[in-house]
Amino acid sequence: MHSLSLASIALVSLASTAQGKAAGCDQKPSFAAGNFKDFTTSEGREYRVWLPASYDSSKATPLILSYHGANRVIDEQVALDKLSDPFFNKDHIVVYLQGLEASRPGHTVWEGAPDSTSDDIGFTADVLEAVSKEICVDEKRIYATGKSQGGGFVGRLACDAGLSKRIAAFAPVSGAYYIKEIDVKADCHPESVKVPCDAGRSNIPILAFHGGADATINYNGGFRSGACLPAISSWAKQWAARDHLDQTPANTTITGAQNGVKMSYGGGLVSLVYDGDNIGHAWPSTQPNSDNDGKDLAAFNASTSIMEFFRSHKLD
C-alpha cells in the first residue's frame, strides 16, 4: 500500500515538473492578486503568501521563499526584504514562513540553530506542496532567501538532498551557518572547518551577502551559542568547490561602498558580496530599515541584486 501510494505521488510530481506547471494552474486562488494571505499547515505551522498584482493563474509564476532572522516574525521580514514592493518585484510570488520558538518566549528560530528542534525542511516541503495546489507555481523557478539564522537555514536548504533539487537558487543575507556538530570552542577553526552538506545536485547557484562590521555573525566566523560558525569567505569557497568552480574568485569593486567587493566564482554561479567595512548585521539597503537604524546605509540594495540573481537561474 505504502509503496504504491508513494509511487503515484512521485508520478504526479514528475508530471507537473515536466510541464513546469503546478496543480494550482488555471484555478482561482482564494485571495486576489496584489495581496497577502496568511495560512496554517495541517501541522499548525504559519506562513504568508503574497501574489504580485500581475498574477495570472494560466501562467506558471516563479516563487521566492523568505525566512526571517532569529527572534523575528513574518511582518519584520516583509518590511526588511521589501520583495512585495513592486519597486523590487512585480512578477514573483513571495512566501514568508514563520519559525518556531525555541528555548525561551519570542525566540523564533529555524532548524540548524543551536537550540532548534523543529523540522523546517519538512515545513518548507509542506508549504511548497500546499501553495502549488492553489497557485500556478513555476516549479523550475523556486528560490530561497533569508536573513541571519534564516540565511543560515537557506544554506541548509541548498545542502538538503531533496529541496536542493526543487529550489533553483539561494540568496542568504548575513547568514548564521551554524555547525552544531562542533560544540567545543577549541575544536572550532572558522577558516578550515568543513561545512556539512548533502546537496542533491551540482551547479547550485549561491549569492551570499555579509557585512564587515557584523558584530552578531562575524565575517571571520567563530564559536557562538555552543556551535561553530565558519568564516564567510571559507563558506563561499566551499560552495565554489562543491560546484567544481575555480577556487580564485573574480573580484568586482562595489562603487560607493567601504572596500565593498563582489567575489564571483564560475562567472557568478557562486558569489559572495562583502557589503563593506561599515555594514553591520543588516540587510543591505540604501534606505533606513530596522536592521541599519538609518546608520551605515549600504551602497546598494541587496533586494535588487537578489532579484537579478534569481531571474538568471532556473532548474533544467
Q: Which is nearest to 52 in space by CA: 14, 87, 23, 5?
A: 87
What minimum distance in Å lies between the beta carbon of 247 and ligand NAG? 11
What minimum distance in Å lies between the beta carbon of 300 and ligand NAG? 6
Cα–chain-centroid distance for residue 36?
20
Residue 43 CB: number of other CB atoms within 10 A? 9
Phi, psi of 241 (to 5 degrees): -65, -45
Contact set with ligand NAG (CB under 6 A): 82, 87, 248-249, 251, 261, 263, 274, 286-287, 300-301, 304
Residue 224 buriedness (CB in 10 A; 0-12 / 13-18 / 19+):
middle
- Judged by beta carbon, residue 42 or residue 87, the one nearer ligand NAG is 87
What minimum distance in Å lies between the beta carbon of 249 and ligand NAG? 6
Residue 250 CB: number of other CB atoms within 10 A? 13
Residue 143 buriedness (CB in 10 A; 0-12 / 13-18 / 19+):
buried
- Judged by beta carbon, residue 19 or residue 286, the one nearer ligand NAG is 286
Task: Point out which residues pair with 224 in neighbouring strands.
Answer: 227
- Judged by beta carbon, residue 112 or residue 212, the one nearer ligand NAG is 212
- Judged by beta carbon, residue 130 or residue 254, the one nearer ligand NAG is 254
What minimum distance in Å lies between the beta carbon of 245 and ligand NAG? 14
Q: How far apart are CA 253 and CA 255, in angstroms?
A: 6
What minimum distance in Å lies between the beta carbon of 130 and ligand NAG? 30
- Judged by beta carbon, residue 149 or residue 234, the one nearer ligand NAG is 234
